[in-house]
Structure 1
């Protein structure tokens, strides 16, 4: 645990970093005040929230050079909204659409983004078509929920959202930045209908989950190969930049 203290100090300064380290790592407090952020961060005890916190704020999972200043950001697999909070601070002019299927995660997500302008929380799962979904592994860690298609009347069913449906609903013509961390559903997302939104998307960052669902990488690369995307390895994720889109 002490190995993380320099990370806190490097990112937040000596006093603020030490305080945040004690709050998050030692005292396990549920409310953490972050330097540079106007509102406290909620971290639920005995969940994977602390790991998400570290990834976003300590190890800068989403801190990479952007070829454009994003105006439209879609955060698919938003979890409790920490990436959305980070995006709001880094890209204050952007409209952010944060999509999360799990009810418990979504409650914390909605709390985190409620005071933020132009951040829209969406309780749903990103899918390749109109359908109904449900969380298939409700006992998993809070950052590992998977979804599957189901009937409208099935327990826990909710309406999926497609990229095209989201664009139509909010009048989006171009997606500047699409973050995808959807625990295997990227296989379906890039399998069908991608030709309607992929050429209109400038930057994609995706985590592949072949260990959860076979064929994720194959589906993503097969779709991407139809267009002129530059590929960059960014930590455990892949970054795709559309060279034909300004």
Structure 2
């Protein structure tokens, strides 16, 4: 089985539903929490996955493991090692490669959101598995406001110009959360609900839309997860062999 280093930024971080989908294609993952210290290199790993979190990519003062995270991202890029950055992970990938990330530059996104693929997605090594339009979970107030010059834009949404991109042959950054299902959103606590309502969202409408789109969201997220795992393990995405 191939093995991914999974970097989490808090103790609640998890691959959630991605873990069993990855396992179907022979990809396992060990979560290491940044605050507990990160490996010095990617030796012994076959892929890098960086999960989401609260900070901006350069908030070294409050999150002192971010420089080590960025170093590992740079190593993955140099090695052409498969990488998947989710939300903050995608922002860290963009920032490390020379892009820009800003807080509340644009409108926030919360709950299930319509994503639209770009034309470039059709020829990407991973994103042809995705439909032209799909639904993914969002929960962010920060945005990638400039991609690195060598990045390929793969998806956007109404509020967010950069929802997915690729750098090099096999490093992907996502603003959305394929690991989060509607059931996870239903469990958001009272403070999270208050925060998204403060951002102008109606909680009941967010829930109703998410429940209506749950099946399509699950199907799209699974396709993305299996496609990434197949790339990491050099297996056929259609057969799993």
- TM-score, length-normalised on structure 2? 0.29
Which structure has more relative contact order (CA 8 Å, sep 6+)? It is 2
With normalisation by structure 1, the TM-score equals 0.29
When Rg is computed on C-alpha atoms for both structures, the one with the higher figure is 1
